[in-house]
Structures are given as C-alpha cells and as structure tokens.
C-alpha cells in the first residue's frame, strides 16, 4: 500500500482538487484508492459530497479516540474510491494530542493496521495548509509527497522549507517521505507570468517537477461545487484530461505503464485472495513446520 501526502503549507494552490481528482484517476484505472481528509476545513469531504457536520466517524475519532481507521471509511464515486472524512472537531485535535507520547506517528500506526488488511493500493492524504501537528502526522505516515504549486512567484518560496522538514523527518525517524514530484496547478499558459514561474520551477527543481501541468479550468471548480470528481462531472473536460495524464505519469514513475495499472491491481487482488484462502496449517505443512495454535497478524504491504 503506497501512502502519498499532498502537501503545501500555502493555501489555495490546488491540494484538495489534486487529491480528489488524482485519486479518481487512479480508481478509474483499477486501483483501490483511499482519500484521507486531514484538513479541519474538510474541503475534500465537501468536494465528495460528504456531510461534515458530524454524526458519522471521521479522521478525528481515529486520531484522538483510537477508533480503527477502517471504521471511518465511507464509499464514494467512482467505484474503488473511498474516503476517510473530516469535520470541524478536527480543529481541536492538535491541542488534544499535544501531550500524547508519539503524537507525530499516530496516523502512521493507524494506516499500518489498515495496510495489514490489504484493502487499498494507494492512500492519498489531503494535508492542511500549515506545518502543524496534523501535517506532521501526514508527512510521517507518507512514503511519498506530491507538492501542488500554483503558477505565481510567492508559491515558490515555501517549497524549500517543506523539503527541509521532509529531510529532518528522514534523519530523525530513520525513515521519511520522499518527494514524488511537484505539480504545477491552475496554469494559464497564455500569460507571461505563468511561463516564467514554470521555467523557474523547472530550472530549480529539475526532473522533480512533473511534465504534466494542471491548466486553469472552470470545470474543476464546478465539479467541486457539485460534490463530484471532474471525471463524474465532465469527463471530456480539459481538467479531466490533465488529471488523467498526471495519473499516467505517476503510474510510470511507479513502474506501472498506464495500460497495465488495472492489470497490476487485479494481480494484487488475486494474490491477496490466494493468501487469504491458504490456511496457516497448510502454509506450515509446506514449510515442514508445526502449525501455530493461532494465526499471526497479517503482513503489512
């Protein structure tokens, strides 16, 4: 199970839009995708038409009340896309967790338990626009980070700080997220400013900037206001084409060609079913060992 944090401490750069529609792009290709809303504003949950006024389990209960994260999962459209929602109570989570031992790794431990059940291939975390405890949990839980970057000069300034935080996590925790890539969002390719920002980003970050850019497209905003992914709202739109291309590019970085993503997911699913069907005594007999009295915990992907 790959865990990817979508992170930028600057607001309004396209984090939620990218989390939602990139997840939908993966799901349309056959991957089992979990979207996790870690932002107290709950924009990802609203984007997917989820009630954020409470009454249903959310990421707050998983972080603060130790609810198994699997019990907070809600299905959404398209098929193979699921959501762990947020609601307003999440705003108090940083204060409530401040005195907890290992507070930076609560989400990582919760996702490790989820990975043991082999329900998902990819988890995308929509992090809040800050570098507080919630974002730190998202980064600590992640294997990789996608940084959405708006095509304006001020947006470039915060990326070096974020990459510094990622490097400190790798040093202190002996593991930490790698930068999967920077995606230029809300691009207006006809303007000189957008072209200059893109040139500066590619000059400074090189191959870490995705080749795919997400162009400014009103359909992306309209889709969120209708509680849908852009693929459900207008699959022929420019925004849908851009996020489909970004999904292809990331799949290629992971070593899975676009046409093979669905097949790879099917192989993983068949492998999981084979393991589940094979009882512990049968495995032990194959290894020439005595079967244990109780099966051990499932392995984490």
**In contact, 15 and 138? CB cutoff 8 Å:** no
Single pTM value for the model: 0.81
CA proximity to 159, closest of 2, 35, 13: 13
Structure confidence at residue 204 as a pLDDT band (50, 70, 90): confident
Per-residue b/e over 186-218, b at no fewer than 16 CB within 10 Å? bbeeeeeebeebbeebeeebeeebbebbbbbbe
Q: Dihedral sign, CA of 47, 50, 54, 58?
A: negative
pLDDT of 54: 67
The rounded Cα 270 to chain-centroid distance in angstroms is 24
Copy the structure tokens of residue 141: 């839980």
151 exposure class (CB count in 10 Å sphere: 0-12, 13-18, 19+):
buried
Beta strands 122-126; 2-6: pairing state: parallel
Whether residue 98 is predicted with pLDDT greater than 90 in this model: the reply is: no
**In contact, 58 and 105? CB cutoff 8 Å:** no
pLDDT of 229: 94
Copy the structure tokens of residue 4: 């990817």
Average pLDDT over residues 9-31: 91
Average pLDDT over residues 38-57: 88
Whether residue 159 is predicted with pLDDT greater than 60 in this model: the reply is: yes
Q: Which of 91-100, 155-164, 225-234 has the highest mean pLDDT?
A: 225-234
- Look at the domain 2-287 and name its fold: Rossmann fold (3.40.50)
Cα–Cα distance, 10 to 263 (Å, whole number): 37
Whether residue 104 is predicted with pLDDT greater than 90 in this model: the reply is: no
Structure confidence at residue 194 as a pLDDT band (50, 70, 90): confident
pLDDT of 214: 95
Beta bridge partners of 37: 126
The residues spanned by each domain of the chain are 2-287
**In contact, 258 and 230? CB cutoff 8 Å:** no
Rama region for 66: left / alpha / beta (φ>0; ψ in -120 to 50; rest):
left
Instruction: Say what angle helices 133-141 and 106-115 make with each other, to 10 degrees.
Output: 40
Q: Is 277 helix (H, G, I), strand (E, B) or coil?
A: helix
53 exposure class (CB count in 10 Å sphere: 0-12, 13-18, 19+):
exposed
DSSP assignment, residue 118? T
Mean pLDDT for the chain overall: 82
């Amino acid at each position: 199970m790959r865990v990817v944090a979508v992170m930028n401490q600057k607001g309004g750069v396209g984090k939620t839009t990218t989390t939602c529609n990139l997840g939908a792009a993966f799901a349309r290709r056959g991957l089992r995708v979990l979207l996790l809303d870690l932002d107290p504003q709950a924009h990802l949950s609203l984007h997917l038409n989820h009630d954020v006024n409470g009454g249903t389990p959310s990421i707050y209960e998983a972080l603060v009340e130790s609810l198994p994260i699997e019990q907070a999962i809600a299905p959404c459209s398209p098929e193979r896309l699921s959501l762990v929602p947020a609601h307003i109570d999440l705003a108090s989570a940083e204060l409530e967790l401040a005195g907890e031992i290992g507070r930076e790794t609560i989400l990582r431990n919760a996702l490790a338990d989820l990975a043991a059940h082999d329900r998902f291939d990819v988890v995308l975390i929509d992090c809040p626009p800050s570098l507080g405890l919630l974002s730190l949990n998202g980064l600590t839980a992640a294997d990789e980070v996608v940084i959405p970057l708006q095509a304006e000069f001020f947006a470039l300034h915060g990326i070096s700080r974020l990459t510094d935080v990622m490097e400190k996590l790798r040093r202190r925790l002996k593991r930490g997220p790698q930068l999967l890539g920077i995606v230029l969002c809300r691009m207006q390719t006809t303007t000189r400013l957008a072209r200059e920002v893109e040139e500066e980003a590619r000059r400074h970050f090189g191959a870490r900037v995705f080749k795919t850019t997400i162009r400014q497209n009103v359909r992306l905003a309209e889709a969120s206001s209708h509680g849908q992914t852009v693929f459900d709202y207008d699959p022929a739109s420019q925004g849908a084409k851009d996020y489909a291309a970004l999904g292809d590019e990331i799949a290629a970085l992971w070593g899975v060609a676009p046409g093979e993503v669905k097949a790879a997911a099917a192989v993983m699913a068949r492998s999981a079913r084979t393991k589940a069907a094979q009882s512990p005594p049968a495995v032990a007999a194959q290894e020439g060992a005595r079967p244990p009295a109780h099966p051990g915990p499932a392995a984490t992907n």
